[in-house]
Amino acid sequence: MGTASAMPISDRNPSAQMLSAGGRLFLIDCGEGTQQQMRRCHLSFLRVEAIFISHIHGDHVFGLFGLLNSMAMYGRTAPLDIYGPSALGGVLHFYSSYFGSDDNFEIRFHKLDCKEPQLVHTSKYLTVSAFPLNHKIECYGFRFDEIVSARHAEANPEYRAKSYAYCSDTAPFPELAGWVRAVTCLYHEATYPDSMADKAAHRYHSTSVQAARCALEAGAGRLIVGHYSSRITDFEALADECRAIFPDTVAASDCDVFEI
């Protein structure tokens, strides 16, 4: 739902993704305008089971207040689990104190604090693990692993459980490929092309080439890149840099839908 980074791009929103599993929705980051993108994509405000916030830079969290308020106006009553770094707790407390007094649903905040992958959420259809990323502030990635029922496994012995990993924002670091090992689909930020590697290093982001190398080392099935700098205008050229290393790469656009 959003493939831009911090600076505005006229036809792209800041970071937000929705993962659908078994009819339930899992929101990953919530940049400004996320609720409008949900309307455009015909996604229900009431079917969101949990929200996962990587860090509290504005382009990943500024849409949260509006979304929570709209959930209340749509009559949500089911509790909402929200996962994120410790500082997000204060942000949610501010929202509840000033805007959430009449909400009819409970916000259950789960503080993330891990040095390696840790299971944080279990749903009927998947498990979610969080792991630290290498950014300027406390930041986490997420891995979603499908739960295959014994009945399904017995009926389809060749079936392999699907998985999805979300890595944004981060500079490269040695452990990451191992933490997303053999994931079916990897989303990895590619804020800059390879020619801007110095800017990426200074701002604790990744280039196209670094994202592709991570996917290759991890043995990922597919790579999706996004979180583009506002300086980028040729997104296919950036994807081509990735494909030279990891051929099955897609440069995401807003409202793209991928089957995992």
pLDDT in tens, 82-128: 999 999 999 999 999 999 988 999 999 999 999 999 999 999 999 99
Report the largest interatomic distance among the alpha carbons of the chain, rounded to a whole angstrom: 53
Query: Once rounded to an integer, what is the mean pLDDT over residues 150-155?
Result: 88
Asked if the model's pLDDT at residue 134 lies above 90, the reply is yes
Query: Once rounded to an integer, what is the mean pLDDT over residues 7-35?
Result: 94
- 248 classed as catalytic: no
* pTM assigned to the model: 0.97
Predicted pLDDT of residue 8: 80
Give the number of C-alpha atoms closer than 13 A to the C-alpha of residue 178, restricted to the C-beta side: 6
Asked if the model's pLDDT at residue 150 lies above 90, the reply is no
CATH architecture of 16-251: 4-Layer Sandwich (3.60)
Total residues belonging to the chain: 260
Question: CB of 80 within 8 A of CB of 48?
Answer: yes
Predicted pLDDT of residue 82: 98
The single residue of 59, 103, 169, 254 carrying the catalytic annotation is 59
Q: Give helix 64-73 / helix 87-98 axis angle, nearest 10°.
A: 40
- Mean pLDDT for the chain? 96
Per-residue pLDDT band for 2 (boundaries 50, 70, 90) equals very high
Predicted pLDDT of residue 14: 97
